C-alpha cells in the first residue's frame, strides 16, 4: 500500500512538472534548419546563449553566465542550475536540448514567465536569428500582390509585383493569358525586395524556352543549375524590366535571367545586389527566413553587393546610380517606346 502511495505521488509530481513544460517548437525548428539548411558557418554557442539573454526582457531576475564548459543560471541572485555545454560545438540537436532545458527551468521559477511563454519564445527566436547573417530574419507574413494595367493604345501589359510570394507567377500567367496577342510587357520590379526563390524561378520560366535560369550553391558547396521548361508564354515578344536600388534578391534573379538570356532589356538604375536564398518556415503568425544558399546568374556571376547594371540607364543625367524622381513615368515611357520600336 505504501509503495502504491509513493508511485501515485511520483506521478503527480511528474504531471505537475509537465504542466508548466513548454515545447518551444519555433526554436526547435530554427535549430533543425540550422543543422540541415543554413548556408554559412555557425557558432551555435553564440546563437543559443546570446538568444537566451532575451529572458531578461521578461524577468530581469534571471542572469545567465558561462565558462568554457558550463552555463550558470541565476534567479534573484541565487544560483539555481548549472549545465554542461555540449562538447560537440556544431551539434545543433545538443544545443537545442540545452536551450529547452534552460528555458523550462526558467518557467519553473517564474510564474509570470510561464504566462508569457509564447511571447518569450518569439523574442528569443528573433534574438537568435539576429546572430546569424544580415538577411535571415523573423518577420510578419508578407502580403504579396500584383498591380496590372493594360495599355490598349500600345497593346502592352504593365505588371508590378510587390513581392514574389503566394503564387505571383500564376497571377502573371493568368493576366497575360487573358490578353491575347500582346505586343509586349513591362515588368516593373522597382521597389520589389524579393521573395521566394522558387517563385522567382517559376516567373522567369514563363518567358524562357529551355534556357538556364540560374545556378545555386548550398552549405555543402554543392552547385545546382535550374533550366526553364519548354515554352514562352509571350512567344518571344519583347519584355522591358524596370529596376532601381530597391530591386533585390528574387527580383534580381528574374532580371538577371531574362537579360542574360537576351529575353528582356533592363531599364532604370542599378539594383541592390543580394544573391542569398532564404528557406521559409511559416508559424501561425510569422515567417522565419533562413539563408540556405546563394544564387548566380546564368553566366555564373554573383550579384552580391554588386547588383545588376541596366542596359538603359534613366537616372539623373542618364546615370545608372541616381534615379530621376522628377518624372515618375519616365522609365515606363522609355520602355513603351522600346517595345513599339520592335514592331516598327
Q: Kindly report, residue by residue over 140-162, the tens digit of the pLDDT.
A: 888 889 999 999 999 999 999 99
Report the pLDDT value the prediction gives residue 21, as an integer from 0 to 100: 66
Section 307-329 average pLDDT: 90
Q: Are residues 46 and 177 in the same domain?
A: no
Q: Are residues 125 and 152 in the same domain?
A: no
- Tell me how many domains the chain contains: 2
Q: What is the pLDDT of residues 92-122, one digit of tens each?
A: 999 999 999 999 999 999 888 888 888 899 9
Q: Are residues 238 and 89 in the same domain?
A: no
Q: What is the pLDDT of residues 79-96, one digit of tens each?
A: 999 999 999 988 999 999
Q: Are residues 213 and 333 in the same domain?
A: yes
End-to-end CA distance of the chain: 100
Residue 1's pLDDT band (cuts 50, 70, 90): low
Closest CA to 331 of 341, 321, 323: 323
For residue 219, pLDDT beyond 80: no
Residue 3 in any domain: the answer is no
Report the pLDDT value the prediction gives residue 284, as an integer from 0 to 100: 76
Report the pLDDT value the prediction gives residue 324, as an integer from 0 to 100: 84
Q: Which three cell numbers stand for residue 5?
A: 502511495
221 Cβ contact partners less than 8 Å away, ≥ 6 residues apart = none
Report the pLDDT value the prediction gives residue 13, as an integer from 0 to 100: 42
Is the pTM higher than 0.85?
yes
Q: Are residues 263 and 305 in the same domain?
A: yes
Which of the pair, 174 or 287, is modelled with greater confidence?
Answer: 174
Q: Are residues 180 and 283 in the same domain?
A: yes
Which of the pair, 2 or 232, is modelled with greater confidence?
Answer: 232
For residue 312, pLDDT beyond 50: yes
Paired sense of beta strands 146-151 and 156-161, if any: antiparallel
Q: Are residues 155 and 276 in the same domain?
A: yes
Residue ending a domain, choose from 132, 162, 180? 132
- Provide the CATH number for the domain around residue 222: 3.90.226.10
Report the pLDDT value the prediction gives residue 12, as an integer from 0 to 100: 42
Q: How many residues does the chain have?
A: 344
Q: Are residues 164 and 281 in the same domain?
A: yes
Q: What is the pLDDT of residues 269-301, one digit of tens each?
A: 999 999 999 988 888 778 899 999 999 999 999
Phi-psi region of 273 (alpha: psi -120 to 50; beta: other; left: phi over 0): left
Section 243-263 average pLDDT: 97
H-state helical runs in 216-319: 250-260
Range of the domain at 32: 22-132
Q: Are residues 112 and 162 in the same domain?
A: no
Which of the pair, 177 or 8, is modelled with greater confidence?
Answer: 177
Residue ending a domain, choose from 100, 132, 164? 132
Amino acid at each position: 500500500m505504501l509503495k502504491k502511495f509513493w508511485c501515485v505521488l511520483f506521478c503527480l509530481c511528474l504531471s505537475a512538472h509537465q504542466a508548466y513544460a513548454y515545447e518551444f517548437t519555433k526554436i526547435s525548428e530554427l535549430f533543425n534548419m540550422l543543422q540541415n539548411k543554413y548556408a554559412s558557418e555557425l557558432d551555435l554557442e553564440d546563437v543559443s546563449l546570446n538568444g537566451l539573454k532575451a529572458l531578461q526582457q521578461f524577468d530581469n531576475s534571471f542572469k545567465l553566465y558561462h565558462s568554457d564548459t558550463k552555463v550558470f543560471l541565476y534567479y534573484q541572485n541565487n544560483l539555481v542550475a548549472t549545465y554542461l555545454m555540449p562538447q560537440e560545438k556544431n551539434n545543433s540537436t545538443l544545443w537545442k536540448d540545452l536551450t529547452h532545458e534552460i528555458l523550462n527551468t526558467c518557467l519553473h521559477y517564474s510564474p509570470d514567465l510561464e504566462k508569457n511563454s509564447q511571447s518569450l519564445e518569439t523574442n528569443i527566436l528573433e534574438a537568435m536569428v539576429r546572430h546569424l547573417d544580415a538577411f535571415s530574419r523573423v518577420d510578419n507574413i508578407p502580403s504579396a500582390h500584383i498591380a496590372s494595367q493594360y495599355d490598349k493604345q500600345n497593346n502592352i501589359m504593365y505588371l508590378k509585383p510587390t513581392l514574389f510570394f503566394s503564387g505571383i507567377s500564376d497571377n502573371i500567367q493568368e493576366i497575360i493569358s487573358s490578353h491575347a496577342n500582346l505586343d509586349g510587357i513591362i515588368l516593373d520590379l522597382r521597389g520589389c525586395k524579393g521573395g521566394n526563390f522558387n517563385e522567382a524561378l517559376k516567373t522567369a520560366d514563363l518567358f524562357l524556352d529551355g534556357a538556364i535560369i540560374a545556378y545555386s550553391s548550398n552549405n555543402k558547396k554543392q552547385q545546382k543549375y535550374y533550366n526553364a521548361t519548354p515554352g514562352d508564354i509571350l512567344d518571344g515578344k519583347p519584355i522591358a524590366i524596370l529596376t532601381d536600388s530597391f530591386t533585390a534578391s528574387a527580383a534580381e534573379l528574374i532580371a538577371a535571367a531574362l537579360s542574360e538570356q537576351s529575353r528582356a532589356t533592363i531599364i532604370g538604375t542599378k539594383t541592390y545586389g543580394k544573391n542569398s536564398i532564404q528557406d521559409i518556415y511559416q508559424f501561425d503568425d510569422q515567417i522565419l527566413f533562413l539563408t540556405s544558399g546563394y544564387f548566380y546568374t546564368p553566366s555564373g556571376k554573383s550579384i552580391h553587393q554588386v547588383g545588376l547594371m541596366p542596359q538603359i540607364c534613366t537616372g539623373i543625367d542618364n546615370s545608372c546610380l541616381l534615379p530621376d524622381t522628377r518624372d515618375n513615368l519616365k522609365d515606363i515611357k522609355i520602355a513603351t517606346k522600346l517595345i513599339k520600336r520592335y514592331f516598327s
